[in-house]
Structure 1
């Protein structure tokens, strides 16, 4: 970060810091709130930018280049979890904290209500919020031994058959040791943050956000013995399609990035950099589970 400092899991913003706004696209309420937030922060002396891939917010600067994104000290997200993940993609692995406000339906990552936006922003500027570190996944795709792509994921990486009618046969390795070969619609590799997303819907376990693990969950496996597997996040995981004619979609945080074939090897590791979520000091993860997912609700 340029002028913002992380000290004892607290964010300290100095004068003239750079703050970028990411808002829910094509939503009038989000655009309107973004303008109000920009005006509020400019009055406080901060440099306000509109993040890439969206229409410029009036009165802000455009952060179109990687060099400009390198100077950001804080990202403010106004939208849902999809908007939050778009902000994470724009950071491309940079350790810039994100403060999220929910204007969507679920709001696991954007945990703060949009009605509290100015109160929460004020607490953030006064250093009264905490920074919660979240594990990131780095995915590298090698074709015949040469890297052809690299992606960063906060939630999950998914290998799926897409529009193909047949299952894909995939070999899973941990530290080059064969774990298993499984026929399935696909596989989800989720971080603790992503365990409550697609992984949960596919029958995978909920991981505490501070857990140092990944979970690999098969999607509709053609075997009664194929179950989710939890791995330490300091191990390298790799995946190969078995069968020369097979192709699969490669999806990162809900967005299709490329297609892979039997010539490709997918290697997944924990990123050297954590993602930082800005939270209130009394944030309670278990309350979030009960509120958003009705966890433990017997009615």
Structure 2
């Protein structure tokens, strides 16, 4: 691969991904991620999300080209060991900015965690959560009685947000989705679509009797009292797709799926 970008390989610990990795190792040259210019990730959407989070922990974020060896693979390209250099040379890029969750727990602990898909608030017990919602410092919903509520990015709008009946957002929409989870009151509120410059604040109204946890992608903070969620404009991640992948078309088609 002389003259080609230096590539690192990230592999999900599944039999299919490990077998595909062995084939790629026989056919191409790979370097440690610290020396790489791009990352090829083998796995499913969950593994791609994990790989993106690893980029957030690094000083230098690398573009990631995912190949599907998982189940759904919505954000992944089709796996093929052939013509990898050509595929990477023709790949189109999508820029992703994560959410930043700033949480304060009942005992006053402050925790800040990034989220690429969504930040969700979930009741910890059988009792429903009581949550006040503010937008840019203004209370817009004094009391949401529900199992929870979430904020999703366009990338995450087809994940948990979709299963909670939230809207699907085009990747270039500069929007975020605010979606209730099994709302009891107000019963008819279905959520909101907001500009991605919005800061959403959740205040748990009875955090002792009705405890709530906050989850940024897969990282949980229990017994939260207040959570601020906004786009982190200091951070940018890059996904790479085959030109024929047409991720925007796939997202558009999901809006008409039954």
What TM-score range do you get, normalising by the shorter chain? Answer: 0.7 to 0.9
Shift of the 140–266 alpha-carbon distance from structure 1 to 2, 3 Å rule, reads same
Runs of 4+ in 1 over 4 A off after TM superposition: 13-16, 143-147
C-alpha distance in 2 between matches for 1:290 and 1:117? 29
- Map of 1:166 onto structure 2: 127
- Map of 1:242 onto structure 2: 205
Match of 2:18 among 10, 31, 36: 31
Aligned residues: 251
Match of 1:274 among 208, 225, 236: 236
- Map of 1:5 onto structure 2: none
- Map of 1:95 onto structure 2: 61
Structure 1 unaligned segments of length 5 or more: list them.
1-12, 50-67
C-alpha contact 2:105 2:222 (8 A) present in aligned 1: no
C-alpha distance in 2 between matches for 1:139 and 1:198? 17
SS at match of 2:82: helix
- Map of 1:78 onto structure 2: 42
C-alpha distance in 2 between matches for 1:199 and 1:128? 31
- Map of 1:153 onto structure 2: 115
Q: Relative contact order (C-alpha < 8 Å, sep 6+): which is higher?
A: 2
Q: Tell me the TM-score normalised to structure 1 length.
A: 0.75
C-alpha distance in 2 between matches for 1:74 and 1:150? 28
Shift of the 211–135 alpha-carbon distance from structure 1 to 2, 3 Å rule, reads farther
1:242-261: per-residue Cα shift (whole Å, max 9, x none)?
114132222222x1422133
C-alpha contact 1:76 1:100 (8 A) present in aligned 2: yes
Question: Cα distance, 1:41 vs. partner?
Answer: 3.1
- Map of 2:246 onto structure 1: 284
C-alpha distance in 2 between matches for 1:75 and 1:197? 23
C-alpha distance in 1 between matches for 2:71 and 2:54? 22
- Map of 1:210 onto structure 2: 172
SS at match of 1:222: strand
C-alpha contact 1:189 1:217 (8 A) present in aligned 2: yes
Structure 1 residue 233 corresponds to structure 2 residue 196: yes
Question: Cα distance, 1:145 vs. partner?
Answer: 11
C-alpha contact 1:138 1:270 (8 A) present in aligned 2: yes
C-alpha distance in 1 between matches for 2:75 and 2:20? 19
C-alpha distance in 1 between matches for 2:232 and 2:62? 14
- Map of 2:31 onto structure 1: 47
1:251-289: per-residue Cα shift (whole Å, max 9, x none)?
222x14221333xx2111112222211012344235424
C-alpha distance in 2 between matches for 1:192 and 1:290? 12
SS at match of 1:203: coil
Q: Tell me the TM-score normalised to structure 2 length.
A: 0.86
SS at match of 2:73: coil
